[in-house]
Amino acid sequence: NAGVTQTPKFQVLKTGQSMTLQCAQDMNHEYMSWYRQDPGMGLRLIHYSVGAGITDQGEVPNGYNVSRSTTEDFPLRLLSAAPSQTSVYFCASSYDDPGQGAWEQYFGPGTRLTVT
Amino acid sequence: AQSVSQHNHHVILSEAASLELGCNYSYGGTVNLFWYVQYPGQHLQLLLKYFSGDPLVKGIKGFEAEFIKSKFSFNLRKPSVQWSDTAEYFCAVTFNAGKSTFGDGTTLTVKP
């Protein structure tokens, strides 16, 4: 299994440009999430999904859109990039296993985004 | 809103020293608790987790954590750190499916 994969690894955008960060998982996990990591601020939840066709907002959703058309894929769209969106973005997936402890997150390698 | 607080932002230890990183959360209901580690240049990976049963849980690489419900705490410990433990450590709480709240992280530097 490849686990959680993310592309691209690095990206530089100009203010106002749009782009999509790709995330895919091959573990058949129900739940997927997007986080951004900024120095001294830990990981903050942007959007999450509890299954195909179902998404919801996290802590910092403004400026981002998501969709979940399949179990495997969960792309994150930046609508109009701003310097405040310079960050490292992590995609994660998880599953519910009540007998073993639920919702451990499996993380992708991250995308480092710079907006100039 | 739920929150997670990590007590130390940056810890510097010498090899063989003991480690304890504090984590407190604010939520009155049932939670799943995690510690994740991020080694330099790598993505986050699970160190250990607690969801029920024995409040003292053991993880990889000799780490352990103790859940104290009355104190809303889940502190991470290791008796003797190694240089390879240099990393950033995150405490996280999951309240419902797919949503985790993370602490701000603690950067651990171990001097050889």
Q: Do A33 and B50 touch (CB under 8 A)?
A: no
What's residue B52's pLDDT? Answer: 82
| Per-residue pLDDT reduced to its tens digit, A49-61 | 999 999 999 999 9
What's the mean pLDDT when you consider all of chain B?
Answer: 92
What's the mean pLDDT when you consider all of chain A?
Answer: 93
C-beta separation of B25 from B75 below 8 A: no
> What's the CA gap between B56 and B96, in Å, rounded?
22
Q: Do B97 and A41 touch (CB under 8 A)?
A: no
What's residue A63's pLDDT? Answer: 96
Residues of chain A with pLDDT > 90, as a percent, come to: 84
- Measured between its terminal Cα atoms, the distance across chain A in Å is 36
C-beta separation of A79 from A65 below 8 A: yes
| Per-residue pLDDT reduced to its tens digit, B56-71 | 999 999 999 999 999 9
What's residue B81's pLDDT? Answer: 98
pLDDT at B29 over 90: no
pLDDT at A76 over 80: yes
Is the Cβ of A105 closer than 8 Å to some Cβ of chain B? yes
> Rounded to whole angstroms, what are the CA distances from A53 to A32, A72, A73, A84, B64?
12, 12, 11, 29, 38
CA of A11, closest CA in chain B: separation in Å?
16
State whether residue B2 is helix, strand or coil: coil
For residues A32, B45, B94, A90, the Cα torsion angle rounded to the nearest 10 degrees is: -40
Count CB-CB contacts under 10 A for residue A14. Answer: 8
Best probe of the A interface among B4, B21, B44, by most A CBs < 10 A, is B44
> What's the CA gap between A36 and A38, in Å, rounded?
7
Among chain A residues, CA nearest to B8: A40
C-beta separation of A96 from A104 below 8 A: no
pLDDT at B39 over 80: yes
Is the Cβ of B50 closer than 8 Å to some Cβ of chain A? yes
What's residue B94's pLDDT? Answer: 86
Best probe of the A interface among B35, B43, B50, B95, by most A CBs < 10 A, is B43
pLDDT at A101 over 60: no
| Per-residue pLDDT reduced to its tens digit, A10-36 | 999 999 999 999 999 999 999 999 999
| Per-residue pLDDT reduced to its tens digit, B94-107 | 877 667 899 999 99
Read off the pLDDT band of B75 (50, 70, 90).
very high
pLDDT at A71 over 80: yes
Residue A82 identity (one-letter amino acid) = A
Read off the pLDDT band of A102 (50, 70, 90).
low
